Amino acid sequence: MYHEQLPYRRVSPKLIVLRHIYNALGFGIPVIATTIGLLMLHASTDFFTSFPVAYLLFAVPVGLLITAIVFVFIIPRQVKALGYLENRDDLLLRRGILFRRQVAVPYGRIQYVDIRQGPLQRAYGITQIVITTAGGGTASTFEGLPLEEAERLRDELTQRGYERLAELAAS
């Protein structure tokens, strides 16, 4: 069950800017490369005059560009849908606009918590946290936490995991 009314903590709004940069790089480079390649083909051969249908090849960069523009509007909503909640027994992670997903990570099953930061993430002061659990080593990844909050959460999750483990050993 997906609970909108629960007091989920939000991720940093800086994640929106970072995802826009990833979007621009991920779509911009292929759009530019494809367009330049097609223009060079057009200038150096009579391929397009021999096959007028070949102009449809320009639909590829146009399609990529339209997709990139659509993502400009989707990314802020995606980031606003991200949230986490520290319950008594587990950590709830939520994401998704259309296809919503909520993952409960029981504290007693946490093996380790990893904080990752690439160069762009470091420049924006946000991180990615990876929680690995026992029983198959399932990992839950959550992006967009400020470094200080990620470190606090890592310490808190580790402490709660040790407490749950001690409770299980005592029983």
Q: Which pLDDT tens digit goes with each residue over 127-163?
A: 999 999 887 666 889 999 999 999 999 999 999 988 8
Terminal-residue alpha carbon distance, the chain: 31
The pTM is what? Answer: 0.83
Looking at residue 162, its pLDDT comes to: 84
Model confidence at 1, pLDDT cuts 50, 70, 90, reads: very low
Query: Of 21-35, 42-56, 101-115, which gets the smallest average pLDDT?
Result: 42-56
Nearest to 110 by CA among 164, 148, 150, 152: 164
All structural domains of the chain with their residue ranges: 10-78, 84-170
| CATH entry, 84-170, from 3.90.1640.30, 3.50.50.60, 2.30.29.30, 3.40.50.720 | 2.30.29.30
Looking at residue 4, its pLDDT comes to: 58
8 DSSP assignment? P
- Measured distance CA(80)–CA(82) in Å, rounded: 5
Residue 66: count other Cβ atoms within 10 Å of its Cβ: 12
